[in-house]
Structure 1
Amino acid sequence: MTSARDINQRFLRPAHLPWAELRSTQLSRQAYKRHQHAALSIGAIIEGETCCVCEGQEYRLRPGDIIVIPPHVAHSCNPVASQPRSYHMLYLDVSWCLAQFAPATSLLTIDQPVIRDTGLFARYQEIVALMDAPPSPLLASRLTSLFQALPLIPAPPSRAHYASQQLSDHLLSNLHKPLALDVLANTFALRKETLIRLFRQDTGLTPGAFLNIARIEYAKSRLRAGEDIADVSYQSGFADQSHFHKTFVSYTAATPRQYARGRSISDNN
């Protein structure tokens, strides 16, 4: 079986545009666990097919397709029949995205996440080329133009159950602590099973998956800042570096070292 280390992919982060990141992946069979991003995710399929499950709907994505996944929406995008696929994923910081609306909004949604538009796909490919080239003043305007062309809908924040909101706040504030659901459920005067069900209804994730994703997102921010992988592993709440590495790969299909370096996973140094 192909290891995540052998996947040919790169992470591109323009220093002058800290709110944008691009992942380019070639011929990967690697699957992901169900996850979410704090950023707006815009994917483009270049080769092969991908099965994406988002908001309870399954989409079959083919070359030329674009998929838009709003921030904090649980999803998975995996290969079809274990066949390789190539794709780009563009991540735009949610604060930047929300500021593009006048007046600024607090939540982004979309009715139809799959876009089949050759013109928009060509604009996406232009952005990929610009991000892979020396810094260009065109990049910011092209990113803004692409964002404005997406059928995103500004909306007020959704109302989560009180216990779900309190639990998510607790998990985000206590990344280092083990998940003690029995204790937390007792705090909310709920059965553990009820707390898990309510949380999954509101987030699309179990509390355990939510905590792992929060830890990984924190780790990614520290790796982008140039911190040592061993230190990041500890800071993110993992028991050891092996557990950190395994969890990181399962949610990102990238190793921590490759994400930190922002270059091809085929380089295993």
Structure 2
Amino acid sequence: MASPRDINQRFLRPAHLPWVELRSTQQSRQAYKRHQHAGLSIGAIVDGETCCVCDGQEYRLRYGDIIVIPPQVAHSCNPVASQPRSYHMLFLDASWCLAQFAPAASQLTIAQPVIRDATLFAHYLEIVAMMAAPPSPMLASRLQALFQALPLIPSVPLPVHRASRQLGDHLLENLQRPLALEALAKTFALRKETLIRLFRQDTGLTPGAFLNIARIEYAKSRLRAGEDIADVGYQSGFADQSHFHKTFVSYTAATPRQYARGRSISDNN
């Protein structure tokens, strides 16, 4: 399998629209670990096939398919039979998405995440082309029109166990030095195994995976801000650069340097 360094992929971030990011990846066999995003993810397959497991359901995606993954939904999208595939991923900030509803929603869900609609697919590709070109005043309205065409459902968050919520908060607030699970379980008068089971039931992730994803999401925010990769790895809670690099690749299928080099479309280069 080719190294992520050899894969043709780029990240585009409109300087005037900080709530959107585009990832375009060509002919990649790189797989992802199960993960989640803080924002809304909208993917489009432009070559090959992808097997996506989203919220416990498996979907086979091919050219022309769009998949919509709400914020905080655990998923993975991996190649079929190790064959290469090409795809685009739009990431929209959760706060912006929720504010599009009146009154503003607190959570988004979707009954059928896979959309097979030629008109919507063409609209999506138009946005991809606009983001790769010099800044357009029409980009924001085209993105909003795409969002409004998606069958998203505003909803109320499902109740979660108190221990899961507090464990998640602790991990997010202590990326560098979280307490051991044994110690945290004792504070809830639970066995460690019970705490892990409850957390996975509520989030779709183990505490270890949740912590790694939180670290990677924090690292991405610092890399977008232009901070040095070595400093970002330490700030995100990784003991060394090798661990940071390996974990970043396993959850993003890109290297920290590839992500950091993603350009603003205001750069025009």
Q: TM-score range by the shorter chain?
A: over 0.9
Q: Any unmatched runs of 5+ in structure 2?
A: 264-269
1:233 and 1:23 map into 2 onto residues whose CA distance is 22
- The secondary structure found in structure 2 opposite 1:202 is helix
For the residues of structure 2 that align with 1:178 and 1:184, how far apart are their CA atoms?
Answer: 9
Instruction: Give 1:178 deviation, angstroms.
Output: 4.4
In the alignment, the residues of structure 1 paired with residue 170 and residue 180 of structure 2 have an alpha-carbon distance, to the nearest angstrom, of 11
The equivalent of 1:8 in structure 2 is: 8
Counterpart of 2:33 in structure 1 is 33
Residue 226 (structure 2) aligns with? 226
TM superposition shift of 1:236: 0.3
Q: Secondary structure at the match of 1:251?
A: helix
Number of residue pairs matched by the alignment = 263
Instruction: Give a deviation string over 1:91-144, Cα, whole Å, max 9, x none.
Output: 000000000000001100000000000000000000000000000001000000
1:179 CA displacement: 5.2
Q: Which residue of 1 aligns with 2:252?
A: 252
- Deviation for aligned residue 1:228: 0.3
**1:31 match: secondary structure:** coil
What residue is the counterpart of 2:131 in the other structure? 131
TM-score scaled by length of structure 2: 0.97
Question: Does 1:159 pair with 2:150?
Answer: no
Give runs of ≥4 in structure 1 deviating > 2 Å: none
Q: Distance in 2 between matches of 1:92 and 1:134?
A: 20
SS of the equivalent of 2:189 reads coil
For the structure 1 residues 29 and 89, does the alpha-carbon distance in structure 2 shift closer, same or farther, using more than 3 Å as the test?
Answer: same
Q: In the alignment, what sits opposite 2:261?
A: 261
CA offsets, 1:166-205, max 9 Å, x none? 0000000000014511000011000000000000000000
Aligned to 1:267: none
- 1:145 counterpart SS class: helix
CA distance in 1, matches of 2:56, 2:38: 19
Task: Give distance in 2, aligned partners of 1:35 and 1:156.
Answer: 22
Q: Which residue of 2 aligns with 1:209?
A: 209
Give, in angstroms, the shift of residue 158 of structure 1.
1.6
Q: Aligned to 2:226, what secondary structure does the other structure show?
A: coil
Matched, 1:120 2:120: yes
- Is 43-52 or 171-180 further displaced after alignment? 171-180
Aligned partner of 1:90 in structure 2 is 90
Distance 1:8 1:179, change over 3 A: farther
In the aligned structure 2, how far is the partner of 1:5 from the partner of 1:181?
35
Give the secondary structure class of the aligned counterpart of 1:82. coil
How much identity, in percent, do the aligned residues show? Answer: 85
